[in-house]
Structure 1
Amino acid sequence: MPRYFLPLLLAFFLLVGLGAASAQQKSTLPPMKQRRLTGKIKPRRDATPEFSNINRLAYYENKKELKAVQKAEKRRNWVAARNLLDAYVHKFGIENFYKDTPLLWRLAQLWERTGNEENAKAYYRLALKHTRKDIRKIQLYYDSLEQKETDLYVPLKTYYDIVEYRKSIATFHPPKGVYTTMGDAINSTAPDYGPALDAEANMLIFSSKRKQRGLLNTTADEDLYMSRKDGSISWNDAVPMPKPINSQYNEGSACLSKDGRTLYFARCECPTCRGNCDLYVSNFKDGKWTTPKSLGAGVNSAAWDSQPTLSPGEDTLYFASDRLGGFGMSDIWYTYKLKNGQWAKAENLGPVVNTRESEVSPYYHPLYHVLYFSSRGQLLNFGDFDIYKTYRVKGRWQEPRNIGPLVNGKGSEYYFTIDAESKNLYYARSEEKEMQNLDLYSFPLPMEAQPLATTHVEGTLLDSVDQKPMKGIVSIIDTDNGIEVASKYLRPDGSFDFDLIEGSHYVMLIQSNDFFSIEKKFALKGDTVMSLLTNSIDYRLPLIFKNIEFDPGKANIRPSMQATLDRIAIFLVDHPTFKLSITGHTDSRGNPDENVKLSQDRAEAIRKYIEAKGKLKPNRIESMGLGSTQPLKPEVTEEDAGINRRVEFRLIKPEGDPGKESGAGAIDWK
């Protein structure tokens, strides 16, 4: 699975002779036990800088100030050089970000040289997002800084292998599934996309190109469609929105006010449009929609303006546009309501969210200051376009976060929307290399996309003997809400971290070939740091557990043994190519033949228990009894006899496997 993906070359498109414009897609783009979420989000604030000139001037230049920076550097006064360059960069306009990208990189180096790595990485990120030159060397250096914080997501196939192996474990809740199509009631054979929900999540409005127009019915007519929920799960067959919303032109990309009586949407190539697509508004009065009205020249441009979304207070409208004067091929812009009720002149959202590439389909959460959008220019990317979220903290947008591989695949994901309670997500996705194959999907919102997943959990797993970091896969299960959390590999230093929901209960599973699975339950109360230790498995030596002690002369499994035997069963479930050998031993007292039989019965009892617990095939475990023929030490005392009364377990690796499983269904532990 790709980690950091950034295109090495910019693609520029010549927009000539491409026919009717689309309201959804520029012609350059491919078309908790859930409680109600209330209260405030308190995400961790990052070192993201602020640029006050972004919407005031196009380009800032002051040669005198730059000479002062150079002078401080020649004197090796790094703190002074940093402060002078920091003040200069904070005055950047939009054009500076692609014309003066080396200054961003130089400022990052100065922050690093003067001991502030967090600020340094913030400027390195900006340089990577906006440089239009070969970035390979820059990327490699930034990756080296981020090694301790990189999210090493487990590939989706491996994730579901883990799920399949652990279905028999009581504390584990298998996921509810991803990539669940919304079905034939919503989707058609044509592109369907751009979902929007009413406040109760009972009505869905979306865009579709299923209708054809023209004398030969060869041109797609993009319209808005509506469906209402039939009961609690299924949706009724979608029907076109009535006139005057739909018209002979292309309409799409809608959003609704909370009361459901105001509709914002895009209309394209119409007589009143300033550009090829403009934003319009219509109100529901007296049982019908009013004639759509343009948001005007302050909002709409001579280019493509589409995909509107409202802030929770409905006083700010965010949208996508490819107008001149932005950072990349398309940006996220916004407008806000003035005191007279009119919309202000549109402004750019800035260089943290927008990149030299394309940012589209913004969606603002209806309760919280969280903006979701689709991008192909951010630093962590699983495919072409991925969906990200960014928090607004004290008026400043934070570094966007990829919402993870349970949503973002190798194709493209757009038009993300969720209900107010953050239970389900709705979005459009296309398969890899099939950019026109857009369908609508819906499934339970995973943890990475949850707006309230802002409480940080981090930890480190070390070998208890030599204190070296362990390798393995970390999985988190939300036992309160059944929310999926994408599994991650332990980093090379044994560390891991997750952002989870405050106040919920979780089970953490850490699995590996090198040790028995670790299962830890915890209730999340504030940011949490865990230090975990475990013992490596030495496959050359037998495992002997002190609590495997039978009643005298009997072979019944005692309750005190079950926790240990369950661990062994889980290990075999998680490692389907491993086998197990069980050997029973007695002390020297009693009849030797009877001791052999007793030890055999005990080994058999353990074998049957483990097979039943893990639902294992019979040929994976072998058992035998050796009686008193292989004592560990002479029986001088009762303690010596107790040492000789034992059960030995040997885990048998597949042949030729130095540390990674092989064969069908095996898990790659990295």
Structure 2
Amino acid sequence: MPAIKMAITLLCLAATTVAGAQQYSSGNRKAVRHFEKAIELLQRADLSRAEQALYAAIEADTTFAEAHLQLADMMMERHTYPAAVEHYRAFLRHDKRHKRWHEDALRNIGLARFRINALANPVAFNPVNLGEAVNSADDEYLPAITADGATLIFTRRSPRTATTTAHTPEEEDFYICRLDSEGRWSHAQRMEPPVNTTDNEGAQCISYDGRIMIFTACGRRDGAGRCDLYQSVWHSDRWGKPRNMGPAINTGNWESQPSLSADGQTLFFVSDRPGGYGGTDIWMSRRVDGEWGTPVNLGPVINTAGHEAGPFIHYDGRTLYFSSTGHPGMGGSDLFVSRLQDDGSWSEPENLGYPVNTEGDESRLVVSADGRTAYFASDQLGGYGKNDIYRFELPEPVRAAEMQCPVEIVSADTLSVGQHVTLENIFFKSGSAKLYEESFVELDKVAELLQLHPALRIELEGHTDNVGDEQANQLLSEQRAKAAYDYLRKRGIDPARISYRGYGESQPVSSNDTEEGRRQNRRTVFTIIEK
């Protein structure tokens, strides 16, 4: 949170009003003369002499409220926080004219005290540069990492080599690295089209398994606003064509910086759309039956009159890291953590501490599945170029809960003939047997399971809720099971090893009297026929 600079605006206005001591709290002509000299010096950016003149004004009249206020602002800018507190308190004691500034003075006192405490109690912070395989002389930033810690995707900004519709001298593209068995990152490779284009792409997140990427692109023909969110899905050996996430997510404003929950059902992102609390806010959308719902603002506990950005929802689904200029911090934007409470509210954000946060801008971090290691970008730690990507061990109080690396759908060793396995992330368009692209990720896992275990035979089952005509539901369930069957055949699975069947609404697993029950009944399952 930046300090509120009250005095310069107030006193520059005062200096242009009717001349004379009556415009100030002090009637001491010598004090006023020193004070007006200080204002003149400030307008010329001669800060050292202006400070001397302010001290002279206060020496002539210790109750000169405006001089205390101006000096307090200068001390905040200089990071001399104890002196800033002293002069803000003097302003509050002696001022009778400028009540509208009292709330801001109190806020700055709180901010100064926060910084005094943070500087006196630094947290452990030992950032490690990820090395020249990842970083270069260009800008690297906004890292995203898979839950197993083995794949890193980040944005690199470099000089533009071709003329494009972006009309900018630099281009932003995605680069990818993989961790080898000895814990070393492979040399960063530029991701191929269609994810990267000749225009700018950036601010991405990656799903826990590395198969879905959501990112920001600006100024595209299919965009709704200045910048939109797009999604690309991994198809066995390539990334699919990115598609705009549609009007439920994107507006005519600015959407960016996504973060996807581990189960793929909740999306956090940043927007300056109407309905927020400040410049940019963090919003959240939940997916139901493959459709993203209307985003909701995270509310005033998280969002402020400043700018919130860079959300990262940890794999535990409850720990949110983000940056803010509105919560008490060291200056610029700081990094914070908040936790989802049992009642659905967010806890009061906690600053990650100094020197993780500095007087500069800290924009975003992502955290490993075990909650211990954070990855972030900085231009304040030396390195190979401007912004480089680093890792560091998070202090214990701000760690997320440890999560085991997500496993595949099932292990063949635990399967038994007749066992039913529900596929959690199979989505169809409403009333249709057309698969959403995200469903390919789950079906790819089934294909991999079958390829690894050639003796397995399965039956794919489609189930519906009881809404609508029973015969229509029966037909729809058969068509949906066949859609999954057809996809597995395209993946090279022998049709003799897979079959399909629709059960309509005949085998509910929950009550059809509630929306949640109906959602559970709309499902795709596979059953082990032979092992």
Give TM-score scaled by structure 2 length.
0.53
Q: Is the 8 A contact 1:188 1:210 kept in 2?
A: no
1:233 aligns with 2:167: no
- Asked if 1:273 corresponds to 2:223, the answer is yes
Distance verdict in 2 for CA 1:184–1:334, change over 3 Å: same
Show the counterpart of 2:312: 363
Any idea what SS the aligned residue of 1:223 has?
strand
* Cα distance, 1:133–1:331 mapped onto 2, change above 3 Å: farther
Report the CA distance shift for 1:5/1:215 in structure 2 as closer, same or farther (over 3 A). Answer: closer
Other-structure match for 2:244: 294
Q: Are the aligned partners of 2:207 and 2:261 in contact in 1 as well (CA < 8 Å)?
A: no
Name the counterpart of 2:160.
Answer: 212
Partner residue in 2 for 1:152: 117
Q: Distance in 2 between matches of 1:286 and 1:451?
A: 31
Cα pair distance change 1:422/1:134, threshold 3 Å: same
What is the alpha-carbon root mean square deviation over aligned residues?
3.0
In 2 relative to 1, CA 180–411 (structure 1 residues): closer, same or farther, beyond 3 Å?
A: farther
Paired-residue identity, %: 33
Q: Partner of 2:4: helix, strand, or coil?
A: coil
Deviations 1:18-50 (A, max 9, x none): xxxxxxxxxxxxxxxxxxxxxxxxxxxxxxxxx
Distance in 1 of aligned mates of 2:101 and 2:377: 32
The answer to whether the aligner puts 1:443 opposite 2:392 as a matched pair is yes
Q: In the TM superposition, what whole-angstrom CA distance separates every residue of 1:124-162 from its partner, at most 9, and x where no partner exists?
A: xxxxxxxx9774334268679xx8x99823458xx69xx
Residues 213-236 of structure 1: CA deviation (Å, up to 9, x unaligned)? 335997211111101113343312
Structure 1 residue 413: deviation in Å? 1.2
Does the 8 A contact of 2:3 with 2:108 survive in 1?
no
Selected match of 1:345 from 289, 294, 299: 294
Q: SS where residue 139 of structure 1 aligns?
A: helix
Q: CA deviation at 1:350?
A: 0.9
- The CA deviation at 1:179 is 3.0
CA distance in 1, matches of 2:179, 2:313: 22
1:389 and 2:386 equivalent?
Answer: no
**Contact 1:6 1:378 (8 Å CA) reproduced:** no
Q: How does 1:48-447 map to 2 (within 5 A)?
A: 135-139=103-107, 152-155=117-120, 178-215=126-163, 219-339=169-289, 341-379=290-328, 381-393=329-341, 394-431=343-380, 437-447=386-396
Whichever residue aligns with residue 201 of structure 1, its letter is: G
Quick one: which amino acid aligns to residue 372 of structure 1?
Y
How many residue pairs match? The answer is 303
Change (3 A) 1:151 1:365: farther
Contact 1:6 1:377 in 2 (8 A): no
- 1:148-201 CA-to-partner distances (Å, cap 9, x unmatched) read x99823458xx69xxxxxxxxxxxxxx6x5232222221222221111111200
Letter in 2 for 1:152: N
**Once the 2 structures are TM-superposed, how far is the Cα of residue 431 of structure 1 from its aligned partner?**
3.0
CA spacing shift, 1:135–1:8, aligned 2, 3 Å: farther
Checking the alignment, whether the CA contact within 8 Å between 2:316 and 2:401 is kept in structure 1 is no
Distance 1:326 1:360 in 2: 13
Supply the AA of the counterpart residue of 2:151. Answer: M
Give the letter for the 2:309 counterpart. V
Q: For residues 302-343 of structure 1, what are the alpha-carbon distances to aligned partners after superposition, in whole Å with 9 as ceiling and x for unaligned?
A: 12211110123321100011223321111111111123x111
Gaps of 5+ in 1: 10-131, 161-174, 454-670
Give structure 2 stretches of 5+ with no counterpart.
7-99, 403-531
Contact 2:178 2:186 in 1 (8 A): yes
Q: Deviations over 1:480-506 (max 9, x none)?
A: xxxxxxxxxxxxxxxxxxxxxxxxxxx
* In 2, Cα distance between equivalents of 1:141 and 1:424: 33
Give the 3 Å change call, closer, same or farther, for CA 327–291 of structure 1 in structure 2.
same
Relative to structure 1, the CA distance from residue 446 to residue 271 in structure 2 (aligned partners, 3 Å threshold; closer, same or farther) is: same
What secondary structure does 1:235 align onto?
Answer: coil
How far, CA to CA, are the matches of 2:271 and 2:188 in structure 1? Answer: 28
Do the aligned partners of residues 229 and 134 (structure 1) sit closer, same or farther apart at CA in structure 2, a change above 3 Å counting?
farther
More helix by share: 2
- Name 1:7's counterpart in structure 2: 4
SS of aligned partner of 1:245: coil
1:395, 1:228 → 2: CA distance? 36
Per-residue Cα deviation, 1:57-112 (whole angstroms, up to 9, x for no partner): xxxxxxxxxxxxxxxxxxxxxxxxxxxxxxxxxxxxxxxxxxxxxxxxxxxxxxxx
| DSSP-derived class of the 1:136 partner | helix
* Structure 1 segment 613-624 matched on structure 2, within 5 A: none
CA separation in 1, counterparts of 2:141 and 2:115? 32
CA contact (8 A) 1:311 1:365 kept: yes
Q: Output the CA distance in 1 between the equivalents of 2:219 and 2:168.
A: 18
Q: Could you say which structure has the larger radius of gyration? A: 1
- The answer to whether the Cα contact below 8 Å between 2:337 and 2:349 also exists between their aligned partners in 1 is yes
Q: Which letter does structure 2 place at the counterpart of 1:153? A: A
- SS of the aligned residue for 1:398 comes to coil
Q: How far apart are residue 283 of structure 1 and its match?
A: 1.0
User: What is the deviation of 1:297?
Assistant: 1.1
- In 1, the alpha carbon distance for the partners of 2:126 and 2:133 equals 19
Q: Is the 8 A contact 1:422 1:450 kept in 2?
A: yes
- Superposition TM-score, scaled by structure 1 size: 0.42
Per the TM alignment, residue 438 of structure 1 is displaced from its structure 2 partner at its CA by 2.5
Give 1:452 shift: 4.7
Name the SS for the 1:421 alignment partner.
Answer: coil
